Chains A and B, each alone.
Chain A
Amino acid sequence: MQTILSNILAIYRKELQSYFASPLAYTVAGVFWLIAGIFFAGILFGEQGLIGQAASSDLRAQQFGFSPFPIDMPYTFLQFFLGTLGSLVLFILPVLSMGLYAEERKRGTLELLATSPITNWMVAIGKLLGVVTFFMTMLLPLLIYEAIVFNASNPPFNFTTVLVAHLGLLLLAAAILSLGMFVSSLTDSTILAAIFTFALILLLWGIDLVAKSVGGVMGKALGHLSLLKHYTNLVQGVLDVSSLVLFASYIILGVFLTAQSIEALRFQRT
């Protein structure tokens, strides 16, 4: 047990270190912060922004002499902001996960891992934890913005709702990264890995739309696989067990498939 943990930790550290040493990772983080910042500012202060809307609705209420329509500002903001972040990470995460195995295969370092006394499971778990941790550090600056906004909000914000929404974002990211890791283990081209990961998660993102046209039991079953549906659930503050199970399933499935695909290489390698 101790060796399992120390092996996972070794892979985790190595993976994290390689992200912090990688210009690509910083570029991805920079782009993410820029776009997230634009959304953030747009949602709050833009012409159609929340603050503007609230002010004009207050003004109209005063003019026509009825009491202002109540807006739960922090909640509405959370909906908009995390909703857009959810779409944004669809584009960002495949770039983070694309190199997880493809890079090892290309460099030949998989030969080192495959001939070391460490199981494919440990490698996959360590790698996933590493990339999820890097994504969490990417979220940190955004949390600071949010903290400022929520502190100034009126009515005061509901801490649990905010927490559940962010848990949703984290789970979504972990699920996408886990599937991306699997796709990355299938090829030694990082570009291919990114493209196929993006295609896969785009499909899973909106699969409930497809499911509606399928109809029947099949359609219902497909509808439950949708990332968007379950993400929206959590962002709305609904801590639905089925959503947690779905994300956990995707994460475990990704790790499982990765370990299997690397194991299969050991038997089929040419």
Chain B
Amino acid sequence: MIDVEHLSKRYGATAAIEDVTFQVAPGEILGFLGPNGAGKTTTMRILAGYLPASAGTARVAGYEVHEQSMAVRQRIGYLPENPPLYPEMTVAGFLNFVAQIKGVNAGDRPQRIQSAIDRCGLTEKRQSLIRKLSKGYRQRVGIAQAIVHDPPVIILDEPTVGLDPRQIIEVRNLIKQLAGNHTVILSTHILPEVSMTCSRVAIINQGRIVATNTPDSLTHQLTQGSGYELEVEGDWDTIQRSLQSLTGVRSVVAVPTDLPEHHYKVRVAAADVSLSGRALANAIVAADLGLHELRRVQASLEEVFLQLTTTEQPLEPTEPTNSGSPANHGAAAQPASDPSASVAEVDPDANSDQPSSGAIG
């Protein structure tokens, strides 16, 4: 339904997006995930025909977005980054206007408007002036204008920005309902949003797609399950040597902490399922080190995201580590080598269960 090939957009010398390629199948919800400034909005605008691409093609329902702009415009609903609203209009009046310019028949209009109002929870605000609405309601009117003409393709740029937690859940449910009948592409920098609503996720960073997959397999593929976090007392070289030699260990990294000297918080990433907590404990005891804490950490999508999108060197651990090169962009296919990339920015506690709304960037 949406077919993007080698899409690039340059502003002078700087590239907003570079060689972006992805497909969205009919009825699918694709989440476009990336930190701020990664090129999400640029991609959305090109898809909606608002911006021309510098190179590459983007097709919506088989029509090229720039050359066959009118055909594409008839088939899309688009929520820009800032909801396009006329403050002096009422909610119903505005939706009526949008339905008119989107070409909804006069006969179908009342029913389409009613349906959009119901679905976006705007019934009470039907006759309110948009000027007087709160940010959350404005965002909902923005979503309503994107779906009022029942378009086959819906493009939503950050649909849950400015909403309170309850509204976020409502909007996510709304988006899930849209799947099947509609093809949806939504951008976000909120990770749980993607795992909750999207059937597929594309991670974009610095203008490039670094991974495309289902949220689950992306997590699995990139972290291969789990790892352990330990607090160990002793000499760093000894700790590293004794843990690194175990089978199933991918990397051993010291996490910077404010622990006293010779106490280390150690992150052990598992290369496969053969690594067990028991083996780790045994190795530490055998090396005559002090084990203060050992717990299993489940890698979250959040960590994957940071691995893929963090390029700058994180805070250096106090002691030298064996950590390999920083996570690179090509890491989509092979396991990322350096979990420490995420360490500087992620609270380890957030890994144990899914945070309700973990915003990044």
Q: List A residues at the B interface (Cβ < 8 Å).
A: 3, 6-7, 9-11, 13-14, 17-18, 21-22, 107-119, 266-267, 269-270
- The interface stretch among B20-28, B49-57, B288-296, B343-351 is B49-57
Give complex CA distance A269, B52 in Å: 8
Query: Does B80 sit within 8 A of A, measured CB to CB?
Result: yes
Known contacts A17-B89, A108-B82; A113/B101 CB under 8 A:
yes
Known contacts A14-B86, A17-B88; A111/B70 CB under 8 A:
no
Residues of B close to A113: CB separation below 8 A? 101
Minimum CB–CB distance from B95 to chain A (whole Å) comes to: 12
Interchain CB contact (< 8 A) of B100 among A6, A22, A107, A110: A6
Counting residue pairs across A and B whose Cβ atoms lie within 8 Å, the total is: 78
The residue in chain A whose Cβ has the minimal distance to the Cβ of B99 is A10
- The interface stretch among B71-79, B181-189, B214-222, B225-233 is B71-79
Minimum CB–CB distance from A263 to chain B (whole Å) comes to: 10
Interchain CB contact (< 8 A) of A14 among B50, B78, B97: B97
Query: Does B250 sit within 8 A of A, measured CB to CB?
Result: no
Known contacts A14-B97, A111-B50; A117/B88 CB under 8 A:
no
Interchain CB contact (< 8 A) of A7 among B49, B100, B145: B100
Give complex CA distance A157, B48 in Å: 59
Give complex CA distance A13, B52 in Å: 30
With contacts A6-B100, A17-B89 known, what are 5 further pairs, Cβ within 8 A?
A7-B100, A9-B100, A108-B84, A115-B50, A118-B101
Contact check, A112 vs B100: say whether CB atoms are below 8 A apart: no
The residue in chain A whose Cβ has the minimal distance to the Cβ of B47 is A115
User: Top 4 nearest A-B pairs by Cβ distance?
Assistant: A112-B84, A10-B100, A21-B88, A117-B73
Query: Does B179 sit within 8 A of A, measured CB to CB?
Result: no
Residues of A close to B45: CB separation below 8 A? 111
| A-B residue pairs in contact (CB < 8 Å), sample of 25 | A7-B103, A10-B97, A11-B101, A14-B97, A17-B93, A21-B89, A22-B88, A107-B84, A108-B80, A109-B86, A110-B84, A111-B50, A111-B78, A111-B84, A112-B84, A112-B145, A114-B49, A115-B73, A116-B73, A117-B74, A117-B102, A117-B103, A266-B50, A269-B52, A270-B11
The residue in chain A whose Cβ has the minimal distance to the Cβ of B49 is A115
Give complex CA distance A206, B103 in Å: 44
Give complex CA distance A113, B83 in Å: 12
Give complex CA distance A21, B84 in Å: 18
Contact check, A117 vs B80: say whether CB atoms are below 8 A apart: no
Contact check, A269 vs B84: say whether CB atoms are below 8 A apart: no
The residue in chain A whose Cβ has the minimal distance to the Cβ of B77 is A115
Q: Please provide the chain B residues from 290 to 316 with a CB less than 8 Å away from any CB of chain A in the complex.
A: none
Contact check, B98 vs A112: say whether CB atoms are below 8 A apart: yes
Q: Please provide the chain B residues from 255 to 295 with a CB less than 8 Å away from any CB of chain A in the complex.
A: none
Contact check, B11 vs A111: say whether CB atoms are below 8 A apart: no
Contact check, B52 vs A111: say whether CB atoms are below 8 A apart: no
Residues of A close to B163: CB separation below 8 A? none
Query: Does B85 sit within 8 A of A, measured CB to CB?
Result: yes
Residues of A close to B98: CB separation below 8 A? 112, 116
